[in-house]
Structure 1
């Protein structure tokens, strides 16, 4: 059977000439790529029109490296790992590829698809959030350039229209539920069609926070009872009309950017990457003009109010183990830049939360036109305890696939919560955990 591969959009971003400083790879003195001339690197990407970070990294790298060209191979955002895996297996994968989250890291590493980049990691020094997640048996196989955390985004104008007090840093889930009920009533009374909240269809929107905020929760144990209160809350929000139901969101392929960006919802739980997206879309007119901010994700209780618990995987860069040897030094140079302060400052300048956070990077972040600078947004950015959504384990990908099916069954109403979670645990133990 003929295997089909993804259609690619190749966007050449000319980035600059190679004068490889070996300190970027943990050494000292000058070096070259060994190729004797300009080098072209291919790099995976997705949603280039609405995800500005890839081009920004290339442009910033250009200013420091005069002879390297980066070509983006664009994949479908939803099927990114499936399509990328197919390319890597066929020997046609990009030279540098992005690890969207930690879910499939061990799959790539265990499949010998990632080059050992310990020298790059050693040259970065301390202070790179999430770096340790990419280490296996003492060797590092990727470096993080982004470290997301999930916030509660809120539309200040819709809160004012509904006559509801905006979020506070101390909000618990009980506070959130009361606010969405008040918003639902207030917006209806004001004649607004907006919902109180939008919950996207991803399993992360429920499971990520439940895992992070529940003491002792661990997806590799095969006991998923900790998810119950989070699913009961989400179902209650659907049934009350506070948010669009899961069936409508999936059937109509609703986009979270449009739901919040066109003021269809007053609140939305989403990752920190959305700051940059919303700024760019408001600037281009793809999102409406309104006042907004972000707050910590609601908490189980007040005990974590000083350092709210949330979740978010790092986003990493790895080098294809099958890369042409003449490009390896250039690829390592790019990884060192992307994960270091240079790449971090570039990403912060468009509202992306990088893995490296310094005073300079924080200043760049809040200096971006459009980034909310109110006290609550600043607190949310600088004060949180972020737990990884995906534990680094050979079982993670298979377990998350089971939990994705469980999420769909619960949110669609096809299976009651208790029954679905019991089935998920049984499948996890029999199909994955006991098979190890």
Structure 2
């Protein structure tokens, strides 16, 4: 029996979890190299880290790196459906991480676990969706004492942090890990694009070729999703509120229209906006029989679930794993995936390990930088130093066996000078 504090589903699953974590590590060479350096240099010695992240094998490898660097780590889940119970058990039993997470936890347990990890009195916070920071500021400001700063790795979380900062409410330096070029390109575009399609197919076994997929939101996540849906033969319709992003979608050859006009023609609807009530009652009332609803935005607010319940005269919650069929009065049916939560983690396994390798390497190196430089920072949302992003990209290219050119001295001089 482990002495590490925890609340997980079953520690007996640890052996299976270790195998899962090791399998993911094979595709995470950049993070592995960071962990090896951390183990020799111990840059996080004596620091406590509170994390709210998806409890997956990829996350486990990030936390292994932090532990190798000397940190004590307490982890809560950032989504009630995304926890891999075997990974949670392995983190506790094998890697010495205090985990408070299990698959399918109720909202009260979810909120309690956030407070539990904050009560470890962390020096650093790793957040996914701003839940830890929000909980500490709104409900338990006493737990902010001693927190030096933190990192946020989602678009939704960075939006919330910037609003807190603009209103003068943010009391910590928080680094926007989400906003690095490698994170947006690999995690948001390639990771979300592939894993969302994966989740939809696992939950429905639907054929996308020849069907109309409506993508709500054309940020990095929406672009990746639209590309992959089109690559599988789907007709892709994009809805947007941002004129620049909408124009980008038009110039890439997608049909761009309103959700009102897309509702009666779409076969599959996926929201990736970071906002709420993107699919509302007036849209649900116009959808065709058999329409599929999925969300890959952080919170389960993008589809108006209350309206869906109100319109339905019957609900079959066991039609398929991670799928619920809502029947309307006129006999039309719509299929909701993963309770309107992140379909790529609820119905699938999230981003491939090779994608999270880069994202979590940035996260680990930014945590190291924050620990070393926090004394020079004030409250607010900070950018990741460009050198970290460049170093991670360099390590990834090296792991792929890709060589690139270097600037010659003459080229460097030319770029530094304005003179002809």
Q: Which of the five TM-score ranges fits, normalised by the shorter chain?
A: 0.3 to 0.5
Q: Which has the higher contact order (CA 8 A, sep 6+)?
A: 1
**Given the two structures, how large is their TM-score scaled by the length of structure 1?**
0.36
**Given the two structures, how large is their TM-score scaled by the length of structure 2?**
0.36
